[in-house]
Amino acid sequence: MPEPPSPQPVDAERFAEAVRFALQAHGNQYRKGSPAPFVTHPVAVAGILAQYGCSEAVVLAAVLHDVLEDTPVTAEELEARFGPRVTALVQAVTEVKTIAGRPVPWEERKASQLAHLQATDDLEAVLLKAADVLHNVTTIIRDLRLRGHATWSRFRRGATDQLRYYRRVAEVLGERLGNHPLAAELKAQVEELHLEAARAARGPSPTPPS
């Protein structure tokens, strides 16, 4: 991957606008099996990308990256508010969950997303997906330490499928991003996820702190 350009500060007003938009779009949604408002996830993903010096468009797209997938917001609305580049990035990481009114199986959605990541020329979209996966992985690690193996019950697929998916997506993103430090961090955290999952499977579920 070529050397990234010198990072430019993200405009605070534009960032705040994106956060407000995401807050309104996601409404009362919460993270799966968590008391945390859903919007904490996209904001955390944006923070990761900002720390790595990514462009403003990528950071704004991170804040908004789930609105097309999980809310009634349309691509047209998103483009009118934030422009074609941000919208294209969001679309690049949006999974198609239904076709002709029927749900698309989890395995097909993940396979399609991986195929797109392998084929796309848009490495900023790959960075966005890497940060998204990184935050999901670190969240699961934390939950495993707090709640043990029961953490997996909140997912539609169990530990085996989830762990296999995260290892594969880290491999694909690593291949695309080369020596980018975000790829290295993701790989390390996926390995930690496997270790933590093995620890959780061996012992009783910890009691969450009061």
Digit-by-digit pLDDT tens for the chain (210 residues) are: 545 556 678 999 999 999 999 999 999 999 887 888 999 999 999 999 999 999 999 999 999 999 999 999 999 999 999 999 999 999 999 998 888 888 899 999 999 999 999 999 999 999 999 999 999 999 999 999 999 999 998 888 889 999 999 999 999 999 999 999 999 999 999 999 999 999 999 876 555 555
When divided into structural domains, the chain yields a total of: 1
Q: Which pLDDT belongs to residue 2?
A: 46
Q: Which pLDDT belongs to residue 32?
A: 81
Whether pTM exceeds 0.75: yes
- Is residue 99 exposed (0-12), middle (13-18) or buried (19+ Cβ within 10 Å)? exposed
Q: Which pLDDT belongs to residue 154?
A: 86
CA–centroid distance for 48 within its chain? 11
The parent domain of residue 47 ranges over 12-202
Q: What is the residue type of 188?
A: A
CB neighbours of 128 closer than 8 A, spacing ≥ 6? 45, 49, 58, 61, 62, 65, 89, 92, 93
Catalytic residues: 69-70
The answer to whether residue 172 sits within a structural domain is yes
CATH label of the domain that carries residue 193: 1.10.3210.10
The answer to whether residue 2 sits within a structural domain is no
Whether the Cβ atoms of residue 68 and residue 75 lie closer than 8 Å to each other: yes
Structure tokens at 57: 């468009």
* Spatial separation of the C-alpha atoms in residues 126 and 6, rounded to whole Å: 19
Helix ranges (H only) for the chain are 12-26, 40-51, 56-63, 67-70, 75-92, 106-119, 123-147, 159-177, 181-202
> Which residue, 152, 139, 150, 147, is CA-closest to 209?
147
> Which residue, 17, 90, 26, is CA-closest to 58?
90
The answer to whether residue 208 sits within a structural domain is no
